[in-house]
A = this chain, B = another copy of it.
Amino acid sequence: MKGRNDARLTGQAYSQLKAAIFEGRLPPGTPLSRRRLAEELGMSAVPVGDAILRLESEGLIESRPRAGTRVRIATPQEIHGNYVLREALETHSARLFAENADGRARERLLKAAERLDAANLALARGKCSQFRRARVERIHVAFHMLIAAASGVPALIDAIERSRVLLFNRLFTGSLAASHLPERWHRDLAECLVSASPEAAAEAMRTHVRYRQQEVIARFKELVEARSGPARMVRGPQRRTLEENGGAGALLD
């Protein structure tokens, strides 16, 4: 996803904002002011605006003209839709992997699956610090991108990355990432992708995605219900929340 523009200010603003959103330093709902961000990032408002435009087109941010910009808050419908999209993309990705992947790629996938299952198990046992969850999530993304990469089709790889980005943001910042998975969950999937027919691989991936989908949506709903007691985040002053979340420090690496 990185481009030639990362050297420019606009690219810096984009990267830093994106990272801050992913790592939970700017949770969903946080207001983002161009001027404020420009000041904290040490640049003018224009490149910040460009970065915001880009993040908005990726769905991480929403902006109402002349009325404010904020980190987007996901609805259950959106999460559901995102899983539908992922089912389409990753199912095909799995099929292509089973068809085309060479020996090296297959070996690497098996190893990645082992690592991922181990990390998930460790996470389920130990405590779920934000840092550890982020690390496991990175491994998880790497696993799926390994499958996608075997297709050799940039358009497909980008689309999968994009859909994951959206989901990751929503889930991670909503503290939904930590969930108990079957112990050999990814390993079984990987073995199927490596040795079964393309159709079987696609179906295995479909099952995989749908399982997660149901689990995540169930958790999300219960989370939403739990926090909807005093009907929060509906009214009230929502300015200056950036400072409350750590101020200038929230944007540093």
Contact = CB atoms under 8 A, between A and B. Distances in A.
Given A84-B151, A88-B156, A153-B85, A65 B96 contact: no
B89 A153 contact: no
A127 interface: no
Contacts of A96: 84
A58 B49 CA distance: 18
How many chain A residues sit at the interface, stated as a range, is 20 to 34
A65 B8 CA distance: 9
A129 interface: no
Contact of A57 (B54, B64, B156, B166): B54
How many copies the complex holds: the figure is 2
B5 A82 contact: no
A87 interface: yes
A129 B104 CA distance: 50
Contacts of A78: 154-155
7 contacts: A50-B50, A53-B54, A81-B153, A84-B155, A87-B92, A88-B159, A155-B166
Given A53-B54, A81-B156, 10 more contacts: A8-B65, A46-B46, A49-B50, A53-B53, A80-B153, A81-B155, A84-B153, A84-B156, A85-B159, A155-B163
